[in-house]
Amino acid sequence: MILLRFRREQGRWPHLLRPRAFSDLIQRRKLFDANPLFTTFTDKVAVRAFVRDKVGDDVLIPRLWEGNDPAQLPFDDLAYPVVVKPSHLSGWVRFLKAPPAGEERATLLHDLRHAMTRRHTGVAEPAYYGVPPRILVEPMLSDGEGRAASDFKIWVFHHRTAFIQFVVDRFNNHQRGFYDRDWRRLASTSGSPRR
């Protein structure tokens, strides 16, 4: 499945023995590197303990609630705005500016119950396969204009920053750009809109 998906999206088979591109390296790692740290890094709960052990608590976003049963979510006791998301899926997130009520709450609970039964297997990312399903609630980080805060993703190879990915308005008008260590714009073929 990993190889077929790659061929469909890239128009070629990956070069697994002698990778020629970063995407080849990623496919090789998915197929042949079962390092349990990848599951830890993918798990939105387990990665917190890893980070805490390495650099301390003060870099972590506070956790307002964590649990397995959506019905136990304390909507009326949270400090809004908040983000609600499953620990084991990618891209599934709900932003709440106030406690949901009535139909909105019923729909969110239904969606969360469904999310708890899903597994993140469709994109052939084996690191997700062992992540236990949980629901997380965290404060929403905002850009000051009501949108999710921008992301900076630092890509490190051999203990050195190779490039920086800057993501703006990820959940509405997703734009991203890639930069070198000196903030010079790089050409990108990542498949998402570029900024």
Q: What is the mean pLDDT of residues 116-145?
A: 85
Top pLDDT among 158 and 136 is at 136
Q: Is the pLDDT of residue 47 over 50?
A: yes
Q: How much is the CA Rg of the chain, to the nearest whole Å? A: 19
Looking at residue 190, what is its pLDDT? 58
pTM here is 0.80
Looking at residue 193, what is its pLDDT? 41
The residue whose two tokens read 């061929």 is: 7
Note the pLDDT tens digit of each residue in 92-106.
999 999 999 999 999
Q: How far apart are CA 147 and CA 149, in angstroms?
A: 6
Looking at residue 123, what is its pLDDT? 61
What are the backbone angles phi and psi of residue 135, rounded to the nearest 5°? Answer: -110, 135
Looking at residue 32, what is its pLDDT? 87
Q: Is the pLDDT of residue 107 over 50?
A: yes
Q: What is the mean pLDDT of residues 158-182?
A: 83
